[in-house]
């Protein structure tokens, strides 16, 4: 009886094909990552950039971007890697009022990112505006606190997740196996 060769278990949230697509797309195209971040942060885009942004809405790239910027609980994710945008809210080390303020900020982050995906898919420019979350002396202190906290959270989230794509993409010389080994070694630090 021959023993069937078992497929190695996936150790990252991203599949081999997703890592390959990130590598093929971004490893030698840093300006495309800058454009992605610029789109998510509602930077002013030239006509050429608006055309290039449409690439991100394709059927292969969109699920990777959702997994990165708007993760949802996936019960088939490798152990220790389940995440959604609510899982990082600190409810243990804060009182109810402070935790509720953070939850209000997080809700705006989630709404903002969902709106950006809606705009990406529909080639529109609507929804929650980052500029609406800036300090406004006409607003109540609590509203300003939540808005500015949400604004800063959005900027940090988008920048960090874009950096994650850059790291996961690796460089063109790396094979998918090399990328996985590098990421596995780094995760132990």
Euclidean distance between CA atoms 177 and 169, whole angstroms = 12
Q: What is the pLDDT of residue 1?
A: 47
Instruction: List, for residues 30-73, the tens digit of each pLDDT value.
Output: 999 999 999 999 999 999 999 999 999 999 999 999 999 999 99
Is 54 contained in some domain? Answer: yes
Is 10 contained in some domain? Answer: no
Residue pair 111/68 in contact by the 8 Å Cβ criterion: no
Q: What is the pLDDT of residue 174?
A: 65
Is 25 contained in some domain? Answer: yes
Q: Report pTM.
A: 0.86
Least confident of 5-14, 48-57, 67-76, 154-163: 5-14
Is 127 contained in some domain? Answer: yes
**Residue owning tokens 């998918």:** 176
Average pLDDT over residues 101-108: 97
pLDDT band for position 178 (cuts 50, 70, 90) = confident
Residue pair 62/19 in contact by the 8 Å Cβ criterion: no
Average pLDDT over residues 125-140: 96
Q: State how far the alpha carbon of 2 is from the alpha carbons of 5, 6, 7, 9, in Å.
A: 9, 12, 15, 21
Whether 9 shows a pLDDT value over 90: the answer reads no
Is 3 contained in some domain? Answer: no
Is 48 contained in some domain? Answer: yes
- How far is CA 34 from its chain centroid? 14
Q: What is the pLDDT of residue 124?
A: 93
Which residues form the domain of 144? 16-183
| Domain count for the chain | 1
Q: What is the pLDDT of residue 11?
A: 73
pLDDT band for position 5 (cuts 50, 70, 90) = low
Q: Where does 78-151 show beta strands of DSSP type E?
A: none
């Amino acid at each position: 009886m021959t023993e069937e060769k078992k497929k190695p278990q996936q150790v990252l949230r991203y599949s081999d094909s997703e890592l390959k697509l990130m590598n093929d797309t971004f490893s030698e195209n840093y300006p495309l990552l800058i454009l992605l971040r610029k789109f998510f942060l509602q930077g002013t885009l030239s006509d050429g950039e608006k055309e290039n942004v449409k690439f991100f809405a394709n059927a292969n790239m969109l699920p990777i971007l959702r997994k990165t910027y708007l993760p949802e609980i996936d019960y088939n994710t490798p152990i220790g890697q389940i995440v959604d945008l609510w899982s990082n809210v600190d409810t243990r080390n804060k009182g109810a009022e402070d935790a509720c303020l953070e939850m209000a900020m997080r809700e705006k982050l989630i709404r903002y990112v969902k709106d950006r995906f809606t705009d990406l898919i529909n080639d529109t420019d609507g929804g929650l505006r980052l500029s609406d979350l800036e300090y406004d002396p006409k607003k109540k202190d609590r509203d300003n606190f939540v808005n500015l906290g949400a604004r800063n959270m959005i900027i940090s989230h988008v920048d960090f997740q874009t950096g994650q794509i850059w790291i996961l993409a690796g460089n063109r010389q790396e094979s998918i196996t090399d990328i996985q080994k590098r990421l596995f070694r780094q995760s132990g630090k």
